[in-house]
Amino acid sequence: MVNIVVRHRVRRDGVLGRAARARSIRAATLVLALLSVALAPIRAHATAKDEYEVRAALLYNITRFVSWPDSTFQSASSAVVIGVLSPDPFGDKLDRVLHGRRTSGDRPLRALEIRTLDEARACHVLFVSEEAERSHAALLAALDTAPTLLVGESLDFVRGGGGAFALWRDEGKVARIELHLNASEVEEAGLEVRSQLRRLCEAVEGYPAR
Amino acid sequence: MVPRAKSGRGGAAATALLPVLLLATLFGVPSARAADDLGDLSLEELLEIEVLTVSRQEQDLLGVPAAVAVISREDIRRSGVSTVTEALRLVPGVQVSRINANAWAVSARGFAGRLSNKLLVLVDGRSIYTPTFSGVHWEALDLVLEDIERIEVVRGPGGALWGTNAVNGVINIITRDARDTRGVLVSTGGGSRTDGAATVRIGRGSEESAWRVYAKALQAQGFDLEGGRAAPGETRRRQVGFRTDHELGEFGSWRLQGDWYDFDLEESIDTPSLAAPYVQPTCYANRIHGGNLLAEATIERHGMWKLRAWYDDAGRESGFFNDHRRSFELDLQHGFTRGRHHLMWGAGWRRALAEIEDTPFIQYHGRGQNNLWTAFLQDRISLADDHLRLDLGLRAEDHPFNPVDWQPSVRAAWTPNVARTTWASLTRAVRSPAAMDRAVGGIFDIVPPSTATMGLPLVVRALPGGHSVGSEVLIATEMGHRQQIGSSWQVDLSLFHHDYRDITTYTLLDPVVRPDGPHLEQPVRRANGIEGVAAGAELGVAWQALSDWRMRLHYSLTSLDLEAQDTTNPVYAGDLRRAEESTPRHVAQWISWFDLGPRLELDTVLTVYSRNHAQEIAPWVRWDARVGWHLAPGLEMSVVGQNLLRSHHREWTGLLNETPKAPGRILYVGLTWRRSGW
C-alpha cells in the first residue's frame, strides 16, 4: 500500500504533553486576570484627567461668573443654553457636569449640539472645538454681535477669531487647560464677566483682560 | 467513531468562570469611586489639573473588550501603500504575504493561506468574503485609499456582533462619509512595477447631504520569478463608483454607494499534467469584473435602528477557473438602553447564487444557491459606575444542510480611568462549511514518478466532502490591557488561547492505479479532521517622542499546534503542515513617522520576520520607506520604496500552484492634489 503522503509526526512537546500545556496556559490566564483586576481598584484614583471632562467643568464655571441680559431669556426660569458646535467632542461629559446644577442666578443649564446658524444664535454659550472651527467657518463669521459667548480651544480663536474665551491646552512640563480671555469680545457681546473669573484668565495679546 | 482526546476541553470550564470571578473580585473590594465629578471643584483647582489627551480614535477603543487595532487615514497615507491589502501589514497579529502581482494570503493569528477562510472582511458593512471558496479575493478589492476613513481590525473571534465567519478575526474597512469628501481629488503615479495609475474623485453637496463619484485606472507589470526571470502578471484595472450620504429628518441619515470594476489580471500557474514534466507554468489571463450596491438607513428614535441591504455581483473568467457569484443581503439592527443595560439585537438574511464552470482542474458538484439566516442578541451591562462593562452576546446562524450554529460570547472590560482598560473574553465561534468544503473537487497536485509511486506519476485528486462536512469550532480565551502612560506613551497588549476542533482538511482514501497514463491516483476527501491549539500575543507600543515624531513598536507571537483529530483516519500531511507552520512565530515591527519642518515627511516601517517553516523562507527583514513632500497647499508628492532591502524575495508559495514569484524592491512616485469644498 503506497502511503507516501503521510509522515510520522515527531512530538516536539518536550516535557509537558499538549493537554497539560493547555491547562497550564488556562491557569496562567486566570491568575493574570485576577491579579490585574485585584490591583485595579488600588490604582483607580488617577491624577490625570480627561481634557474634555476638565473643559466641561470649566464651561460650567464660566456660566457661574458671566451674566446675560434678561432679554436673552424667555422667563425667570429659562435655562442657560450651552451649545456645542458639531461634531460634539464631549460625549456625555458635559451633560454629567451640568446635571442637577444651576447658575448663580438659579437658572438651570442645558447642553445642546448645534449644527445651524439659527440654533447657534439661540445659545448663551457656544463651544467651538478646533475641528468645528475649521468646518463651520461661514457660520462663525455670520454669528455677529449676538449675546452669545463664544468659547473655543485655540489661541487663534480668541485673537481675532471672534472668541471670548479659549480653553487652551498648555503643553508645558505638565499639560493643563488654561483660560484665555479676550475682554473686548465680551464687551461687544454686551456681557459682564465677574472678577472671580477674570483674575484667573490669561490675557490675550493686544487685548487686555482687565 | 474514535473518542477524541479530552485535551483542552476541561480548561474551557475553568475559563468560563473567568468573567464570574472578575465580578466577584470587584464587588468584594471597596468600589473605585474616583473623584470624577469635577463640577464640585473650584476654578483654581480646575486650572491646576493635569490633563490627558485621548484622541477620538483612542476614545472609541478605550473600554472595548477585544483585541482591536485601528488603521487610521494618516496611517494609510504615511505608509505609502497603494492597495488596502498592503495597509493591513501595520497590524500586529495580521499576516499579509504577497503571492504575486495580484494575489495575497491574508490571515490573523495563524491559518495563513490565499483562501484563508477564518477571516471576515467587510467594506462599509458589505461582506467581501466569498462563501463559495470560503476566502477573500483581495485582488478584487480596490478602493480610493484617500477616501478610507479607517480600518478596524479585530483579532480573534468577532463575538456576537459581527457577521458570519468572524472566527480568527474581523477586518472592517470604513469609507468616509460623502459629506466629508466634498471637493476634488486627483492622484497619479507610476513606478518600477506600475506603468501608470490615476484616480479622480469629485464630491459636492452640503453638511446635510452630499455625493461623490470617482474613477480610477491602473496599468502595472508582474513580479519576477525567484531566479530573476520575468513572469507574466500584467494588470489592467478600471473602476468607477459613487457614494451619497443624506440626513433623514431630524433623527437619522441614509446612504447609497456602489462600485463597478473590470480588471484584467494575468497570472502564471504551474498547471499539472500527466505527461513529463508534469508541471507546466501556464499564463492565464483572468478577467475579474462585477459591481455592488449598498443602501443603509440609520434612525435614532426609540433607540437606534439600522437597516441595510446590499447586492454584489462578481465574475471571474480564466482558463483555470470560472465562476459568477451573486449575493444579496438584508440586515436589521436595533440598539436601546434600559438603565444599566444597552441591548442590541439584529437579524439578517443572505441569499447567494454561484455558477461555477467546470474546468479540467476544478469541478463543482453542488446546488448553486443557498440562503443564510442569522440573528444576534447582545447585552452590554454598565456596572461599578460605568467602570466595568460586561458584554453578553449570542449569535445564531442557519446554513443549508447544517444544524443551527450558536456563537455565545462573554466579554468584560474594566476601565478605572481614562488611562487604562483591562479586558477578558470567552467566545465560541464557528466557521460553517462552504461550497469549497462540500461541493468542490478537482486535481489537487501531480507528483512526478518516483520509486515510492512505482514509477508512475501520482495524481492527488480532491473529492468534495458532501453534507457530512460540518462546522469548524473555536473556543477562544483572550485577555488584554491598554494603558496610556504619561501624555506620550500608549501600550496595547493582547493574549490569546484558541482551542480548535473539526478544522476541515483532506483525509486520505485508498490509492488506486488508473489505466489512463497510466497513473497512480491518491484520492483525498474534504472532511473535519484537524484539531489543535493556537496561542500567542500581540503587543503595540506607541510613542509620541516629539511633537513631530511619532514611533510605534509592534510585536506578535503566534504558535500553532495542530494534529489529526482521528488517528485512524489519516490526513494529507501537506495540508496539516501548511496550516500549522505557515505563520512565522515572531514578527516585530518598528514604525517611525517624522515631520522634517512643515513640508517634509520621512516615514519608515521596518519589519523582522522569523522563519516560515512551511514556506521555507529564512528569517528576513523588510524595509519600507516614504518621503512625502508638501509642494503647495493641497499638492503632495510621495516617493515610496517597498521591500527596499531585497531585489527579489518570495513571500509565499500558493496551494493553487501559482508559480513562485519573488516580489522584491518596488519604487513608486505619486502626486496627489486635493481641494476641499467646491
Predicted local confidence at residue B77, as pLDDT: 94
Q: Which of B50, B474, B510, B569 to mutate to test the interface with A (most CBs of A within 10 A)?
A: B50
By the 8 A CB rule, do B54 and B123 touch?
no
- DSSP type of residue A134: H
Question: Where does the pLDDT of residue B566 fall: very low under 50, low under 70, confident under 90, or very high at 90 and above?
Answer: confident
Q: Is B616 exposed, middle or buried (CB count within 10 Å of its CB: 0-12, 13-18, 19+)?
A: exposed
Share of residues in chain A with pLDDT > 70 (%): 70
On chain B, the residues whose CB falls within 8 A of the CB of A89 are 56
Q: Is B347 exposed, middle or buried (CB count within 10 Å of its CB: 0-12, 13-18, 19+)?
A: middle
Looking at per-residue pLDDT, the higher value among A17 and B542 belongs to B542
Give the containing element (helix H, strand E) for B609.
Answer: strand B600-609
Contacts of B627 (CB under 8 A, 6+ apart): B600, B601, B602, B603, B638, B639
Q: Which amino acid is at B116?
A: S
- Does residue B263 carry a pLDDT above 60? yes
CB atoms within 10 A of CB B118: 26
Q: What is the mean pLDDT of residues B585-598?
A: 94
Q: Which amino acid is at A197?
A: L
Looking at per-residue pLDDT, the higher value among A4 and B518 belongs to B518
How many angstroms separate the CA of residue B127 from the nearest CA in chain A?
Answer: 29
Q: Do B417 and A44 make contact, defined as CB atoms within 8 angstroms?
A: yes
Look over chain B and give the mean of its residue pLDDT values, rounded to a whole number.
Answer: 85
How many angstroms separate the CA of residue B275 from the nearest CA in chain A?
Answer: 21
- Does residue B565 carry a pLDDT above 70? yes
Predicted local confidence at residue B12, as pLDDT: 46
Quick: pLDDT tens for B649-665: 888 876 555 666 777 88
Q: Do A169 and B453 make contact, defined as CB atoms within 8 angstroms?
A: no
- DSSP type of residue B46: H
Predicted local confidence at residue B545, as pLDDT: 83
How many angstroms separate the CA of residue A70 from the nearest CA in chain B?
Answer: 25
Q: Phi, psi (5° rounding) for residue B439?
A: -125, -5
- Does residue B147 carry a pLDDT above 70? yes
Quick: pLDDT tens for B337-382: 898 898 999 999 999 888 888 887 788 877 677 888 999 999 999 8
Looking at per-residue pLDDT, the higher value among B201 and A140 belongs to B201
Predicted local confidence at residue B53, as pLDDT: 58
The least confident of A136-140, B10-14, B230-234, B395-399 is B10-14
What span, in angstroms and rounded, lies between the C-alpha atoms of B210 and B204?
6
- Does residue A42 carry a pLDDT above 50? no
Question: Where does the pLDDT of residue A22 fall: very low under 50, low under 70, confident under 90, or very high at 90 and above?
Answer: low
Name residues 31-50 of chain A within 8 A of B (Cβ).
Answer: 32-34, 36-38, 40-41, 43-50
Question: Where does the pLDDT of residue B598 fall: very low under 50, low under 70, confident under 90, or very high at 90 and above?
Answer: confident
Alpha helices in B511-561 (DSSP H): none
Give the containing element (helix H, strand E) for A36.
Answer: helix A18-39
Q: What is the mean pLDDT of residues B632-643?
A: 93
Looking at per-residue pLDDT, the higher value among A25 and A130 belongs to A130
Looking at per-residue pLDDT, the higher value among B216 and A18 belongs to B216
Share of residues in chain B with pLDDT > 90 (%): 44
Q: What is the mean pLDDT of residues B276-293?
A: 86
Predicted local confidence at residue A7, as pLDDT: 35
On chain A, the residues whose CB falls within 8 A of the CB of B499 are 22
DSSP states of B612-663: BTTTTB--EEEEEEEEEEEEETTEEEEEEEESTT-S-------TT-BPPB--
Q: What is the mean pLDDT of residues B218-240?
A: 83
Nearest to A176 among B43, B47, B59 (CB): B47
Residue B159, C-alpha cell as written in the block: 463575538
Interface confidence: ipTM more than 0.90: no
Question: Where does the pLDDT of residue B1 fall: very low under 50, low under 70, confident under 90, or very high at 90 and above?
Answer: very low
Q: Which of A10, A23, A26, A96 to mutate to test the interface with B (most CBs of B within 10 A)?
A: A26
Read off the pTM: 0.76
Sequence-ordered strand ranges (E) for B57-145? 67-72, 94-100, 103-108, 119-123, 126-127, 129-130, 135-136
Q: What is the mean pLDDT of residues B276-281?
A: 77
Give the containing element (helix H, strand E) for A97.
Answer: helix A93-98
Look over chain A and give the mean of its residue pLDDT values, rounded to a whole number.
Answer: 74
Q: Which residue of chain A has the CA closest to B18? A: A30
The least confident of B600-609, B645-654, B661-670 is B645-654
What span, in angstroms and rounded, lies between the C-alpha atoms of B500 and B562?
9
Residue B622, C-alpha cell as written in the block: 523588510
| Secondary structure of residue B45 in the 3-state scheme | helix
Q: Do A44 and B32 make contact, defined as CB atoms within 8 angstroms?
A: yes
Contacts of B641 (CB under 8 A, 6+ apart): B623, B624, B625, B626, B665, B666, B667, B668
Q: Do A44 and B34 make contact, defined as CB atoms within 8 angstroms?
A: yes
Looking at per-residue pLDDT, the higher value among B20 and B455 belongs to B455
The least confident of A7-16, A132-141, A147-156, B486-495 is A7-16
Quick: pLDDT tens for B29-67: 333 333 357 888 888 888 887 776 555 556 667 778 899
How many angstroms separate the CA of residue B196 from the nearest CA in chain A?
Answer: 35
Whether chain B has a CB inside 8 Å of the CB on A96: the answer is: yes
Nearest to A58 among B26, B35, B46 (CB): B46
Q: What is the mean pLDDT of residues B403-414?
A: 91
Q: Do B43 and A58 make contact, defined as CB atoms within 8 angstroms?
A: yes
Looking at per-residue pLDDT, the higher value among B488 and B543 belongs to B543
Q: Of the spans B32-41, B86-95, B571-580, B611-620, which averages the highest pLDDT?
A: B86-95
